[in-house]
Amino acid sequence: MTRLLLTLCTAAAVSCFSAANERETLLGSVRLYNDAVRWNQIDAAANHVDAAGRQRFIDRRSMLDGELEVSDYEIQRIDLDGKHEHAEVQVDVAWSLARRGILQKTLVAQSWERKGGAWMVVKETRLRGAPLTVYEEPALVQDRAALDQAPPTRSR
């Protein structure tokens, strides 16, 4: 009986350590990505973007090259799923456009997925605050999802 109890306690401790370790790995990736975005290191940031969205990320950021200045970011929340394969991260981003010089704030939802052993950003959506073209708008994300689920139409 004592041996069974010891085995169960050891398994629980290993499981807790594993979850904490996975959260730290995710947090490290989130920081590396957002630091690279903050300092306009687009190639370094793109390494943390899922392959399917990488070119779109680079194109959107390149449109504002030399114009967008991210002055700071703060990680507000991290929700990691039970399987440690998906995470939702909320980041408060302080930024300005060089031509305007007005500090703006945008709360961004970043969707992260574990792919090939690495955490990758798969989507960034503005939750509130000033809109910025590098982030998806909530209505556009919903409209795109509805279009993806709509049955095909026939033309006459």
Task: Choose the weakest-confidence range: 31-40, 65-74, 118-127, 137-146.
Answer: 137-146
Q: Tell me the whole-structure pTM to 2 decimals.
A: 0.77
Record the tokens describing residue 49, joined without a space. 């973007």
**From the candidate CATH numbers 3.40.50.300, 3.10.450.50, 3.30.70.1150, 3.50.50.60, the one assigned to the domain spanning 2-148:** 3.10.450.50
Query: What percent of the chain is modeled with pLDDT above 90?
Result: 71
With a cut of 90, say whether residue 49 has pLDDT above it. Answer: yes
Q: Please answer whether residues 110 and 30 qualify as being in contact, where contact means their C-beta atoms are separated by less than 8 angstroms.
A: yes
With a cut of 60, say whether residue 114 has pLDDT above it. Answer: yes
